Amino acid sequence: MMRLARLALVMASTLTFASTALAQQEMTVEEIANQISTLESDFENFSGTVNTLQQEERDLREKLQNLRERNSELETKRESALAEMNDRYQRLVEDPTIDIAGAQEAYKQAVMAHQQNKADIKQQVSLVNEKAREVEEARVSKHSLINEIETLKEQRNLARVDRLENEFNRTGELEVSQSISCDRQETLGQCENRGKLMAKQKASKQYLNTILDGLSEASLARENIEKASPNVQILGSKTISNGFSGAGNYGVKLAVELRGQLPQSQACTLLNVDMRYCASEQRPGELQAGDEETVDSSVMHPLTIRSNVYDDEVVIDGVSYGSTPLEVMLPGGEHQIEILKYGYSAYAEKILLKDATAIRAELEKSDYSFTRGEKIQDILYRDVRGPELVVVPAGKFKMGDLVGNGLPNERPAETREIPTALGISDTEITVEQFGNFVEDTAYVTEAEKNGTCASLSNGRPQFNEKLSWKNPGFKQSESSPVVCVSYNDAQAYAEWLTQKSGFKYSIPTEAEWEYAARAGSETDFWWGNDVGYGKANCRNCGTDWSNTRPAPVASFHRNPWGLYDTVGNVWEWAETDEGVVVKGGAWNFTPSLARVSTRMELPSDFNSNYIGFRVVRAQ
């Protein structure tokens, strides 16, 4: 009982200690760690006490078992003494001289021993039950202590996140000097602005490194820095000195006030802890129609640019930054990125910089070189223009399953050639663009004539006479890809473009489609072999449209050759020597079917609310 009292005292003080700890929301990481260490020490001691109690219970049960076994022996002795005493009584009737006192005493002693053993058993049962209760209480208390320790560990991770955020989001000031050579095409004002911008970029990068070095868990944060998106906000700057030299160089020295900015979710990334320890934030993704997004241009974000060639030129917002690999800090907002090398296809992309971003450009050697930002858009009639096209250079590529994840009809892989450059619509043809065609020609699609637009139900297509390109069974806008169009309908649209523009339009061949969609890559998707999260609209791909409806075109990043939505959204018609296929996957199909080499053979008159198309134009 004394031991149980001490156990209860330890447990009460331990749980009070832990409960008090949980009530203190402002404890430091070190304080919580110390409390965890103390409780873990108590837990080890507690575990020893529980083990002792369990051993005592086993000893008591063993003694009880011995008493019960002795009870049988004593019962046998009592019965034997009783029989002896009865026998002597019978003999006493015939022979009064027989002494029965000895038999009586033996019986008396046997009865008393048996009764005492029964009392001992009763008492031992009580002791065993009491000890069993102690053990059970100790076990429950031990589980409670474990829970308190784990709760403190949870609180420690929360405190680590808060500490990192506080350490990162601090304000400081740096002085930086920057000297640049003015380009001949620049005015002095442009050169001065560029020099100050580059000075701010240098200050941002230096301040970011200073913050990282000063973190309590600096080593761990640097190990995970590539996975996070830390940035720096410029609060203000003051020119200490500046001026132009006679050689056309501009030098500036700035005092820059800065503040680190780290979203709480990124703190979890840097600390390599589960995201549940961070406040939930909206996942980065594309905006739906009607949504607005503001990006703080005073916040500087890291931008890393690499390419597959040497001696290229990186141009950001019209300013040359030299060759790759390149790491710069740029203010948040839209930036036009171009990577150029003579004899290679150019890389051009407009990005919305709102966190740390890395770009890997694949430039393909070809007989055709882009000029900066080159696009094609034909005027059809009045103020109606054709789809916007991007130029795809001539070249050779490997077509089919190159990774080993493909279906039988994707094999064997083979080298194909696109002999001449061509223009391909950078998005799938939209509802608005197809509507222009219908308005001009009064064209009626096969789905409208025959009631044959299919939708998926339990994985199988069902034809619905009420569905058409105007009403595909889900909400759409003018910028949504047109669906419920057959290959024949798509070909009619291409012929209309040819007639109106004077240039030859057609549906892309499968080789043209896959060449443009690969954009120089040899992976399942143009960015790699993993579909990732939020990169495309397919089933369970982590977007607002996944398994619901097509996204508006251009809702995700372009591929390196400037094409949107070659992964997911809607299947796209393509021509083959044997017939027609669809490529690219769709919003309601699994990601494995959105691989660039996936192909589904279909009849040319089939149409559904998950198939659309894009067009190509010859030079």
The predicted model gives 105-114 an average pLDDT of: 90
Instruction: Examine the pLDDT at 5 and tell me if it is beyond 90.
Output: no
At position 117, the amino acid (one-letter code) is N
Structure confidence at residue 286 (pLDDT):
36
Structure confidence at residue 19 (pLDDT):
44
β-bridge partners, 376: 389
Q: Which of the 8 DSSP states describes residue 239?
A: E
Which stretch of 157-171, 191-205, 401-415 has the lowest confidence by average pLDDT?
Answer: 191-205
Mean pLDDT over the full length of the chain? 84
What is the sign, positive or negative, of the torsion defined by CA atoms of 591, 597, 601, 607? Answer: positive
The angle, 0 to 180 degrees and rounded to 10, between the axes of the packed helices 29-94 and 101-168 is: 170
Instruction: Examine the pLDDT at 243 and tell me if it is beyond 90.
Output: no
Which percentage of the chain shows pLDDT scores above 90?
Answer: 40
Structure confidence at residue 459 (pLDDT):
62
Instruction: Examine the pLDDT at 184 and tell me if it is beyond 80.
Output: no
Instruction: Examine the pLDDT at 104 and tell me if it is beyond 90.
Output: no
Give 98's contacts (C-beta < 8 A, 6+ positions apart): 88, 91, 92
At position 9, the amino acid (one-letter code) is L
User: What are 352-408's pLDDT values in tens digits?
Assistant: 988 888 898 888 765 544 343 367 888 888 778 899 999 998 899 999 999 988 888
Instruction: Give the pLDDT band (50/70/90) at residue 12.
Output: very low
What is the sign, positive or negative, of the torsion defined by CA atoms of 184, 189, 195, 200? Answer: negative
User: What are 562-589's pLDDT values in tens digits?
Assistant: 899 999 999 999 999 999 999 999 999 9
Per-range mean pLDDT, top range of 119-133, 264-278, 302-316 = 119-133
The predicted model gives 5-23 an average pLDDT of: 40
At position 145, the amino acid (one-letter code) is L
The predicted model gives 183-204 an average pLDDT of: 82
Give the β-pairing of 357-361 and 299-307. Answer: parallel
Instruction: Give the pLDDT band (50/70/90) at residue 290.
Output: very low
Instruction: Give the pLDDT band (50/70/90) at residue 21.
Output: very low
Token pair of 59 as six digits: 């000893």
d(CA 76, CA 81) in angstroms, rounded, equals: 9
Structure confidence at residue 320 (pLDDT):
73
**HEC string of 129-153?**
HHHHHHHHHHHHHHHHHHHHHHHHH
Token pair of 156 as six digits: 């420690």
The predicted model gives 425-432 an average pLDDT of: 96
Look up the CATH number of domain 374-618.
3.90.1580.10
Instruction: Examine the pLDDT at 285 and tell me if it is beyond 70.
Output: no
Instruction: Give the pLDDT band (50/70/90) at residue 54.
Output: confident
d(CA 40, CA 149) in angstroms, rounded, equals: 7
Instruction: Give the pLDDT band (50/70/90) at residue 1.
Output: very low
d(CA 561, CA 393) in angstroms, rounded, equals: 9
Long-range contacts of 319-328 (CB under 8 A, 24+ apart): 319/194, 320/183, 324/361, 327/205, 327/302, 327/303, 328/201, 328/302, 328/303
Structure confidence at residue 138 (pLDDT):
67
Which stretch of 79-93, 215-229, 234-248 has the lowest confidence by average pLDDT?
Answer: 234-248
Q: Which of the 8 DSSP states describes residue 593?
A: G
Please state the domain extents for the chain.
2-166, 170-278+296-360, 374-618
Which stretch of 119-123, 226-230, 470-474 has the lowest confidence by average pLDDT?
Answer: 226-230
Per-range mean pLDDT, top range of 42-46, 327-331, 481-485, 540-544 = 481-485
Which stretch of 58-62, 152-156, 290-294, 521-525 has the lowest confidence by average pLDDT?
Answer: 290-294
Structure confidence at residue 144 (pLDDT):
58
d(CA 29, CA 162) in angstroms, rounded, equals: 9
Structure confidence at residue 94 (pLDDT):
85
The predicted model gives 450-458 an average pLDDT of: 86
Structure confidence at residue 41 (pLDDT):
84
**HEC string of 181-223?**
ECCCCCCHHHHHHHHHHHHHHHHHHHHHHHHHHCCCCHHHHHH
The string over 470-509, giving b where at least 16 C-beta atoms fall within 10 Å of a residue's C-beta and e elsewhere, is: eebebebeebbbbbbbbbbbbbbbbebbbebbeeebbbbb
The CA–CA distances, whole Å, from 183 to 187, 190, 191, 194, 304 equal 8, 9, 8, 11, 24
Instruction: Examine the pLDDT at 468 and tell me if it is beyond 70.
Output: yes
Structure confidence at residue 14 (pLDDT):
40
CATH of 2-166, picked from 1.20.58, 1.10.760, 1.10.287, 1.10.3470, is 1.10.287
- Residue 446 DSSP SS3: helix
Instruction: Examine the pLDDT at 11 and tell me if it is beyond 90.
Output: no
Q: Which residue from 50, 30, 40, 35 is spatially nearest to 146, judged by alpha carbons?
A: 40
**Angle 356-158-226 (CA atoms, 0-180°, nearest 5)?**
20
Token pair of 128 as six digits: 């065993």
